[in-house]
Structure 1
Amino acid sequence: MATADSILIFVLSLLVGTIGILAGARLVLDRDAGFVNAAVTALIGAVAWAVTSFFVGWIPVLGILLMLVIWVGIINWRYPGGWGSAIAIGFVAWIVAVVIVYAFAVVGIITPDVLGIPGI
């Protein structure tokens, strides 16, 4: 049962992260960003967040800032527009993910600890 729960949380996390990044890219870049590109970005971002968290996440403030810069850097690498656009995409993605996770929690589908966007 624990394996099934882990797989479900991973899939939901990837889906929430993908939808958030897709919404951010479409809003900020004003063009179709593509679901697959958003999913790949969410997956790479989640892996980078986890690895960075493992190595420096324990450092107060600096660890979290470094993790966030790396996550935004991946968005910058995957989408055009530079660092400003990447920060805006990341911010919109975070807001969308918070809304999705909150809505799922309100109806009892999940608890609010689903990941996919940093800090959710």
Structure 2
Amino acid sequence: MAVVDSILIFVLSLLVGTVGILAGVRLVVDRDAGFANAAMTALIGAIAWAITSFFVGWVPILGVLLMLAVWVGVINWRYPGGWGTAVAIGFVAWIVAVALVYAFAVIGFVTPDALGIPDV
């Protein structure tokens, strides 16, 4: 059953990240991002976050800032507009992700920590 739970959490996390990035791109860049492109960005961003976390996540403050910079860097690489645009997309994505996790928690589908959203 743990494998099924892990797969479900992975799929939900990817879906939440995808919807967040999609909303961020549509709001900030004002263009259709495409679901597949947003999903690939969410997946690459999650992998980059995890790798960075493995190497520097234990460093107080600096580790988290580096992880965040790498994640925003993935967004910057995948979408036009530069670093400022990427930060704005990431901020919108984070707000949307928090709202979705909250909604899932309110209806009792998951606990907020299950989806791995930072600082929820």
How far did residue 119 of structure 1 move?
4.6
Confirm or deny that 1:61 pairs with 2:57. Answer: no
TM-score by length of structure 1 reads 0.96
Confirm or deny that 1:40 pairs with 2:64. Answer: no
Unaligned 5+ segments in structure 1 are none
Following TM superposition, the consecutive aligned residue runs of length 4 or more in structure 1 with deviations greater than 4 angstroms are: 117-120
Aligned to 2:70: 70
Unaligned 5+ segments in structure 2 are none
The question of whether the paired residues in 2 share the 8 Å contact of 1:21 and 1:93 is answered with yes
How far apart in 1 are the matches of 2:104 and 2:66?
29
Judging changes above 3 Å, is the alpha-carbon distance between structure 1 residues 86 and 18 closer, same or farther for their aligned structure 2 residues? same
The question of whether the paired residues in 2 share the 8 Å contact of 1:68 and 1:118 is answered with no
Q: Root-mean-square deviation (CA), in Å?
A: 1.0
How far apart in 2 are the matches of 1:8 and 1:99?
19
Task: Please state whether the residue corresponding to 1:60 is helix, strand or coil.
Answer: coil
How far did residue 118 of structure 1 move?
4.7
The structure, 1 or 2, with the larger RCO (C-alpha pairs under 8 Å, 6+ apart) is 1
Matched-pair identity in %: 78
Aligned to 1:8: 8
